[in-house]
Amino acid sequence: MYQDVILDHYKHPHGRGLRDGDAEVHHVNPTCGDEITLRVKYDGLRIADVSYEGQGCSISQASASVLNELLVGKELSEARKIQSVFLELMQSKGQIEPDDAMEEVLEDAVAFAGVSKYPARVKCALLSWMAWKDATAQALGDGADESDDADEAVRKTA
């Protein structure tokens, strides 16, 4: 599961540190104590910044770094699409072999495909994504939060 891409992001995280934002959330993975504090800054419906600080395993740290790299600069609708594809991959229990189309959407995040085989680690990979979703809902109002799928997914792996 420890793809070089993941280790790279872990050792050299993108966009780490807390910067100015519209909303801040703090998420904890009770299973292992991974924590993240994450802020989002929106420019209309465009993601101006996702900044974060936290402690956790390589998977959760790398995942936050990948998230920053993937989402910053994107429109919310586009970011949501990326998130849902990532979610699908993480729930696949190792059954999805990412194809080119998926790789186009997820870029470095396809490296997490192998993590999906390890139920205990899926939560680590999703921690920052759940935090981002939550922070976005806070920043833009609950109306922007059109689906509960992601929370459901986390629950299922509990």
Partner 1 sequence: MTAPRQGLPGLLDTEAIRKDFPILDRRLHDGKKLVYLDNAATSQTPRQVLDVLSEYYEQHNANVHRGVHVLAEEATALYEGARDKVAAFINAPSRDEVIFTKNASESLNLVANMLGWADEPYRVDRETEIVITEMEHHSNIVPWQLLSQRTGAKLKWFGLTDDGRLDLSDIDEIITENTKIVSFVLVSNIMGTINPVEAIVRRAQEVGALVLIDASQAAPHMVLDVQALQADFVAFTGHKMCGPTGIGVLWGRQELLEDLPPFLGGGEMIETVSMNSSTYAPAPHKFEAGTPPIAQAVGLGAAVDYLSSIGMDKIAQHEHILTEYAVKRLQEVPDLRIIGPTTAEDRGAAISFTLGDIHPHDVGQVLDEQGIAVRVGHHCARPVCLRYGIPATTRASFYLYSTPAEVDALVDGLEHVRNFFG
List residues binding partner 1 (CB under 8 A). 1-2, 7, 10, 28, 30-35, 55-59, 61, 118-121, 124, 155-156, 158
> How many Cβ atoms from other residues are within 10 Å of residue 150's Cβ?
20
The b-or-e profile of 124-147 (16+ CB within 10 A means b, else e) is bbbbbbbbbbbbbbbbbeeeebee
CB of 58 to partner 1, least distance (A): 5
Q: Which amino acid is at 33?
A: G
Is the separation of the CB atoms in 68 and 47 below 8 Å? no
Is the separation of the CB atoms in 65 and 13 below 8 Å? yes
Judged by beta carbon, residue 36 or residue 40, the one nearer partner 1 is 36
CA distance 27 to 102: 27
β partners of residue 50:
40
Judged by beta carbon, residue 58 or residue 92, the one nearer partner 1 is 58
Judged by beta carbon, residue 14 or residue 118, the one nearer partner 1 is 118
Judged by beta carbon, residue 17 or residue 44, the one nearer partner 1 is 17
CB of 79 to partner 1, least distance (A): 26
Strand runs (DSSP E) across the chain, as ranges?
23-29, 34-43, 46-55
Judged by beta carbon, residue 27 or residue 39, the one nearer partner 1 is 27
CB of 81 to partner 1, least distance (A): 27
CB of 30 to partner 1, least distance (A): 5
CB of 31 to partner 1, least distance (A): 5
